[in-house]
Structure 1
């Protein structure tokens, strides 16, 4: 392969994907919305153990504009499309999040096709798989899709589902030979490279600082960000990955109380503020109706959204770290951030 493009290089998953590529010997090009963020991107990579030098090029491209994507994709053999539109305020309606996600994905795919890119790996989410279903005893697989018409589906899950469906439709109908693979991570934990980290990590941060008074009653899968990055690399390079989607999760799902117990066991006194009591389901559901911070979790409360990565393990030989180690390393990393 020649140069690989990573969209959203300043983001949490994007930065670790860039690190994985650099460590594997690739030249990397990455997009940011504002070129003033280049020093921050390079600082994050150095904190992760890489000094990219000339092996990294930072270019400007915005998912909500056509400008810059032809130049960003030209000459690249592969693309990891990790970037996702972000909002600083809760969306006023679904389209405020859905349209940028769908349109941005299609912009990247069109530019990739027109530039002769061989394969695009799209970062989707478990939000495109496991929501809007009745409780079940078997784990979710890549055959499942979120039911966006179910009551309570939030704009984030809808945006991830519709953006991924749009990507598959585009490649099948207009791709012109462009290959697509998709990675669907569960909750992503792992070491942070800056104070600008993902919402999943906010769960552990709130436990550690005492701002979470009680544990929320739900269970879902979790995965190390470094393993998510390694799965992106496998999805980019392995022949068996073309045309496939892959759930990224480590082992079975964990209840929030199990995450808290791991923190207490591994951190001791430093986990003194981590709550030990679980909020009753009926209380949590009532709060979710009035608390904007809990609204996205409303469909999870009282539920177990277990999923399996058996497909990635079987087809690609993908392996994950023990999730207890990841949870402990996540906490250590958050505690080490400058205050």
Structure 2
């Protein structure tokens, strides 16, 4: 293929899968890492090792600094930018969540202005940018949302890290839009807006890895693990493999650029999370009721209607069914479980 792409967030859940798919597709990858020690861990990972010859690294300790990406972008054809602050509790939401989310995007985009080799930048946004945080308390379950919707309720004070994260993603999305409009760069920008990402975590080589490092792993599988949740979660899953695939496919100019695409499965009505119990009972009847799959838990679902018609038309494929996603994540869990008993 010959093209070299830059990837940020490669040590993360979605970023790792994206890097793997890019390498499998024949791209040369330059992965941005914050510490040199992360390079050996990534290169020697059993899924990445076969492609190590096409993987190199750029160490950037602070992605928010002006010019942080100047050297890393040398000779790069496209960028897959997945790194962003997480919703971790802090004593200063503005400093640790809001400002970095915007600054990283702008730092990257400004650096790219001076690199004529860069043709396209794909940025991971989020479907939470479609609605205000207050929507969760009083959800509109009849309206169908799409990439034309934007959360403009972004000011504090914030009552939690998640509320600040909600605003940070919206502000970052708006900042990218403004950059493209005012700077009219020589490269195209695509923003991808995934919903609740679930699926097998290719980073995990042990059960502890899965439980500790996969975002909200036990929450998403609460119905299967005997955990009863009180707070509803929006019923809008998307398989991590589809999110990664969309990032890699978006490099191709056949996907229209300077656009935003929502990534979500089982649209428009979404899923009922507790339905995963029936999926597991059908696929693994011999395992249910045992310590690994006690069942009996619950995860209430909130309806959030989504339109992904534009996304499916642009990319030329549909999203993985919820049943297959559940089978993938549970299959990985059982394989790792069996390897440790």
Name the TM-score class by shorter chain: 0.7 to 0.9
1:39: how far off? 2.4
3-state SS of the aligned residue for 2:153?
coil
Q: CA 1:230/1:85 → structure 2, altered by over 3 Å: closer, same or farther?
A: same
Q: CA 1:180/1:34 → structure 2, altered by over 3 Å: closer, same or farther?
A: same
**Alignment TM-score, normalising by the size of structure 1:** 0.83
Q: Which runs of 5+ in 1 are unaligned?
A: 280-300
Deviations 1:11-69 (A, max 9, x none): 1111111112111111111111111011222244x337x61122011221232334651
| More displaced stretch, 222-231 vs 148-157 | 148-157
Instruction: Verify the 8 A CA contact 2:225 2:297 in the aligned structure 1.
Output: no
3-state SS of the aligned residue for 1:331?
helix
In structure 2, what is the equivalent of residue 320 of structure 1? Answer: 319
Match of 2:275 among 246, 251, 258: 258
Matches within 5 A, 1:1-339: 2-44=3-45, 46-47=46-47, 51-61=50-60, 62-66=62-66, 68-86=68-86, 89-95=88-94, 96-116=96-116, 117-131=118-132, 132-133=134-135, 134-149=139-154, 154-192=163-201, 193-194=203-204, 195=209, 197-210=213-226, 212-214=227-229, 216-252=231-267, 253-272=270-289, 273=293, 275-276=295-296, 278=298, 303-337=302-336
Q: CA 1:93/1:220 → structure 2, altered by over 3 Å: closer, same or farther?
A: farther
Instruction: Verify the 8 A CA contact 1:85 1:97 in the aligned structure 2.
Output: yes
**Alignment TM-score, normalising by the size of structure 2:** 0.82
Deviations 1:226-254 (A, max 9, x none): 11111112222134421111111112311
1:266: how far off? 2.8
Distance 2:266 2:253 in 1: 23
Deviations 1:268-319 (A, max 9, x none): 353435544657xxxxxxxxxxxxxxxxxxxxx7731232321111122132
Distance 1:263 1:71 in 2: 48
Instruction: Verify the 8 A CA contact 2:237 2:264 in the aligned structure 1.
Output: yes
3-state SS of the aligned residue for 2:22?
helix
Instruction: Count the aligned residue pairs.
Output: 314
3-state SS of the aligned residue for 1:184?
strand
Q: Which runs of 5+ in 2 are unaligned?
A: none
Instruction: Verify the 8 A CA contact 1:63 1:85 in the aligned structure 2.
Output: no
Q: CA 1:269/1:312 → structure 2, altered by over 3 Å: closer, same or farther?
A: same
3-state SS of the aligned residue for 1:236?
coil
1:94: how far off? 3.1
Instruction: Verify the 8 A CA contact 1:171 1:178 in the aligned structure 2.
Output: no
- CA RMSD for the aligned pairs? 2.7
Distance 2:313 2:164 in 1: 33
Distance 1:227 1:302 in 2: 22
